[in-house]
Structure 1
Amino acid sequence: MQPQLNSNNSSTIVHSNQGFRKWWQLTRPHTLTAAFAPVLLGTVLANQNHTIHIGLFVAMLVASLLIQAATNMFNEYYDFKRGLDNENSVGIGGTIVRDGVKPKTVMQLALSFYGIALLLGIYICMLTSWWLAAVGLVCMAVGYLYTGGPVPIAYTPFGELVSGFFMGMLIILISYYIQTGAVDGYSILVSIPSFILVGAIMLSNNIRDLDGDKENGRKTLAILIGRKNAVTLLAGMFIVSYIWVFILMALQLVSPWLAIILISLPKPINATKGFIGKKMPIEMMPAMKATAQTNTIFGLLLSIGLFLGYIL
């Protein structure tokens, strides 16, 4: 005899799933890989000459993910407060304008994530150096000021530069430092493609939102140089990232195994093509997604190549 599904239980499960989904969407999960890939890369770099402390790796990874998620929540909160988001806006979590969550709740959750990240930072400093506390606080301040404060960084031409440095290069260098106790030229050189590709994610976002941002008085890089030039710049950023790795291989600074990054090449090609000739934000979403995937897959393949070069 078939068991009967209770309708009340069924509706409870559906409601629970929908509830989880709206909170999960608030973190903008497609952006979280921008925090994961640099932590992994910095740790793999350190593993070539040092034994990895798993506790430090996990603490750094979770703290980075929490800060990234909180930054996304600040974005959601302040864009709503400034009247930039509505229920038809593309590329937002939508928890406030579509799901009816109170803005205050979003802000409180973001600050809670910051609080947990701060505790993890204290743990990291206890095992490494308290100088990292200053660096961590600056990173958290930048995460807030990216869309908060009187002049949000995201509304200026410096969004790509700031996000690329703090969410790309600096995360790699901190992850490397907490395992090795130092930052050297080698780690800086290898982190440059991540710097560029995280900046590319922000540029792709600004290309998509160009018209709306212009109407609302933003002065992003994409607005200043125009859509066509911005797409050309995005393609150039992809090209430089790949060429940079091959230059490092030619100089014998890294293993030839890093050529494995070529597996990810279809993603930046699709991203560039996806922006050409498009004007509607919804049309450009696949291209923006491909840009984020480029950063993730490139970073993972770079880590794999470094690891293979170390063990083989």
Structure 2
Amino acid sequence: MTETADVSKTRAWVMAARPQTLPAAASPVLVGTAVAYYGGVFEPVAALFAFIGAALIQVGTNFANDYYDAVQGADTENREGFTRVTAGGLIEPAAVKRAMILTFGLAIVSGAYLVYVAGVPILVVGLVSVACGVAYTGGPYPLGYHGLGDIFVFVFFGLVAVTGTYYVQAAALLGEPLATGLVDAPELGLAFVASLPMAAISTNILVVNNVRDREEDAETGKETLVVKFGYGFGRAEFVSMLALSYLTPVALVVGDGVPATVLLSWLSLPLAWSVTTTVLNRTDGAALNPALERVGQLLALYALLFSVGFAAPETAIGGALAAGAPAMPTPTEVR
């Protein structure tokens, strides 16, 4: 475990919030917003509130993980990962729990605007997201302790985050406030497919974490998929998630007629290859802690390139990539 001596309270709270994980919140919102622009329903205020809500849920989940892993004994002195403030004695458990409750509460408050413009469906999604953020490591059946953490991340930090971001913008422009049913969002299916790379790479952040912590998790009874099925399974999952990420843009171009500019996402492949070689060959924290950060960087880079592919006008680069592909429609043409 990282040294905890001489850490200020301010620094301890930053460590607990783990701002380095915010790409996992920002990247899906960026992609969902790019799809909204492509579909002619970009709405900046809704996009901003979607990001605020996603960031607060991410930080709240970080507080929850720090608190519940400590009180349930999952974080030990042999931990190879980054310092946890509750287990490390830097912040009182009760204070971390209060911060978790406050942060999730702020997420619900910030979501009030999104509920106003997008209606009951977003209210349900928001409350379920908060509940699962707590249930990931807390409650009577912690998802992360029973091999369900990967599914939680894939669904909520990928599918829900991207499609939800697109949907609230479409609803803000096309729907009625406080709608009780789904708004007819024309590119909702496209947003769902575009969410797959974000879901997959976000899941790989967890996979690297679980490969690194397999031995400690096995000792403390935290049955992640890597604990249940071994290092080989975790590595196969990691490679499969990357394959899904890089095949999705191809499927969008070939199957949905999306401009070939979305293939800009392939420019992130060297970084993906670099981190993959580490995951396939190492299990120690000295190697996997930096790899964990590089997967976060990969998520951000991929999201940026993918979003540019959806949202950028036909430039010289875009025109070269899109040769032979249908021209990108303007917002006016779509609407």
Question: TM (normalized to structure 1)?
Answer: 0.89
Closer, same or farther: CA 208–23 of 1 in aligned 2, 3 Å: same
1:85-114 C-alpha deviation (Å, 9 max, x unpaired): 245533345322335211111111111111
Q: Which moved more, 1:22-31 or 1:139-148?
A: 22-31
Mapped contact 2:265–2:305 kept (Cα < 8 A)? yes
Give the counterpart letter for 1:192 in structure 2.
Answer: L
Secondary structure (helix, strand or coil) at the match of 2:111 reads helix
Q: Which moved more, 1:47-56 or 1:69-78?
A: 47-56
Partner of 2:225: 221
Which stretches in structure 1 are left out of the alignment for 5+ residues? 1-14
1:184-227 C-alpha deviation (Å, 9 max, x unpaired): 22111111111211112111111111111111122211122211
Partner of 1:299: 303
Partner of 1:194: 198
1:253 and 2:243 correspond: no
1:271 and 2:275 correspond: yes
Give the counterpart letter for 1:70 in structure 2.
Answer: G
Mapped contact 1:59–1:124 kept (Cα < 8 A)? yes
Partner of 1:131: 121
Question: TM (normalized to structure 2)?
Answer: 0.83
Secondary structure (helix, strand or coil) at the match of 1:265 reads helix
Q: CA deviation at 1:281?
A: 2.5
Cα distance in 2, alignment partners of residues 286 and 277 from structure 1:
14
Pairs within 5 Å for 1:134-283 = 134-181=124-171, 182=185, 184-283=188-287
Q: Which moved more, 1:183-192 or 1:64-73?
A: 183-192
Mapped contact 2:73–2:220 kept (Cα < 8 A)? no
Give the counterpart letter for 1:280 in structure 2.
Answer: D
Give the counterpart letter for 1:235 in structure 2.
Answer: V
Cα distance in 1, alignment partners of residues 197 and 64 from structure 2:
27
Mapped contact 2:166–2:188 kept (Cα < 8 A)? no
Mapped contact 1:260–1:301 kept (Cα < 8 A)? yes
Cα distance in 1, alignment partners of residues 41 and 24 from structure 2:
25
Give the counterpart letter for 1:43 in structure 2.
Answer: T
Mapped contact 2:279–2:291 kept (Cα < 8 A)? yes
Cα distance in 1, alignment partners of residues 77 and 84 from structure 2:
7
Closer, same or farther: CA 218–94 of 1 in aligned 2, 3 Å: closer
Cα distance in 1, alignment partners of residues 101 and 269 from structure 2:
38
Partner of 1:47: 37
Give the counterpart letter for 1:287 in structure 2.
Answer: A
Partner of 1:29: 19
Give the counterpart letter for 1:305 in structure 2.
Answer: G
Cα distance in 2, alignment partners of residues 282 and 207 from structure 1:
13
Q: CA deviation at 1:266?
A: 1.7
Mapped contact 1:87–1:94 kept (Cα < 8 A)? no
1:267-301 C-alpha deviation (Å, 9 max, x unpaired): 22122111233232233212222222222211111
Cα distance in 2, alignment partners of residues 202 and 101 from structure 1:
24
Aligned length: 297
Secondary structure (helix, strand or coil) at the match of 1:276 reads helix
Cα distance in 2, alignment partners of residues 120 and 64 from structure 1:
10
Give the counterpart letter for 1:160 in structure 2.
Answer: D
Closer, same or farther: CA 71–223 of 1 in aligned 2, 3 Å: same
Q: CA deviation at 1:45?
A: 0.7
Closer, same or farther: CA 48–280 of 1 in aligned 2, 3 Å: closer
Cα distance in 2, alignment partners of residues 160 and 264 from structure 1:
23
Q: Which moved more, 1:197-206 or 1:42-51?
A: 42-51
